[in-house]
Amino acid sequence: MSDPDSEAGAAMKGLTAGPDAAGLRLDQWLAAALGPDFSRNRVQTLIRQGAVRVGGAVVSEPKRKMVSGDAISLELPEPEPAEPAGEDIPLDILFEDDQLIVLNKPPGLVVHPGAGNWTGTLVNALIHHCSDSLSGIGGVKRPGIVHRLDKDTSGVMVVAKTDRAHQALSEAFADHGRAGDLERAYMALVWNIPQRRAGTIDAPLGRASDRTRRAVVPEGRDDARHAVTHYAVLERFGEKQEEFAKSALVECRLETGRTHQIRVHMAHIGHPVIGDPDYGAAFRSKANRLPEPLRSQVNAFPRQALHARLLAFRHPVSGELMRFEAPLPADMEELVAGFRNL
């Protein structure tokens, strides 16, 4: 077996399985081959991310059995910084005390550092704003973060400033409010008008075939996660004419909080969020059935039209019921106004 390069390199090549590898799991063999710098969990994550090839073909199953002579190559992401640094990024703060901070996240702001976004994130802004008070709360990479919004989703978020607040808020979000008063409501501008004024989407979510996005999956699949979204139609656009594409402004309330849940669920029932590049791409041509200037406005809209309007929860120390709302950001308000003129 050839020696691997250091993790700082762009790729490792030339790993060849000897006779003693036959029958071992891929993750087991690879973790041993790479040495102490790579835990088995780390190796499993890399495999599931498609970073490992056997004989030139991507293998995404950690328990795949090894065969003597297997040629393994491993591509590694860029090394991560030890921990994020504070950056002077403006924050729209709705409330703050010594336990938590509630803010209105603008579209385009990544919540925490990750591949391709090591700086300029909400975490960087919070570290600067809160100084050392966030250190170590919830881990150095995601200090204080108990829930997240996608980069291009705007709206209300709460961040913990103490371990006590972090634990209490994390438990509330993990429980999805079933045993408490957590409430989350989003506004979404979607294609087509739902037939029902209100409804519930109860469909488990798991990994999509590209292993990056999410998808509705069979309930019995290993990665299937229970997911429930309640929606209500607030406004209908283009309902009284046949010439133009129809759309609706809906409110979505989360009973669970899975990654991309609203975006996947609304697309699943035929009403993808307008501007969604991942789950609404098949509806992109709908804009061609809109009059100008709305057609150009939709085509130029740079994100999914999704906004976290409401967040309510019990204060982790005082027990007070707290409720925060954020109005639609200007870009989404302008887009909705354009549809109202149909």
Q: Are strands 183-191 and 11-16 parallel, antiparallel or unpaired?
A: unpaired
150 is catalytic: yes
Say how far apart CA 245 and CA 177 lie, in whole Å: 37
C-alpha 87 chain-centroid distance? 23
Closest CA to 339 of 289, 303, 302: 289
CA distance 317 to 168: 9
Q: Are strands 52-54 and 71-75 parallel, antiparallel or unpaired?
A: antiparallel
CB 236 within 8 A of CB 196: no
At 113, phi and psi to the nearest 5?
A: -60, 145
- Rg of the chain, C-alpha, whole Å: 23
Name, in order, each residue with C-beta under 8 angstroms of 271's C-beta and a sequence gap of 6 or more.
Answer: 190, 191, 192, 194, 248, 250
DSSP state of 106: P
Q: One of 5, 37, 98, 150 is an active-site residue; which one? A: 150
**Angle, vertex CA 316, rays to CA 314 and CA 318, nearest 5:** 80
What residues are annotated to the active site?
150
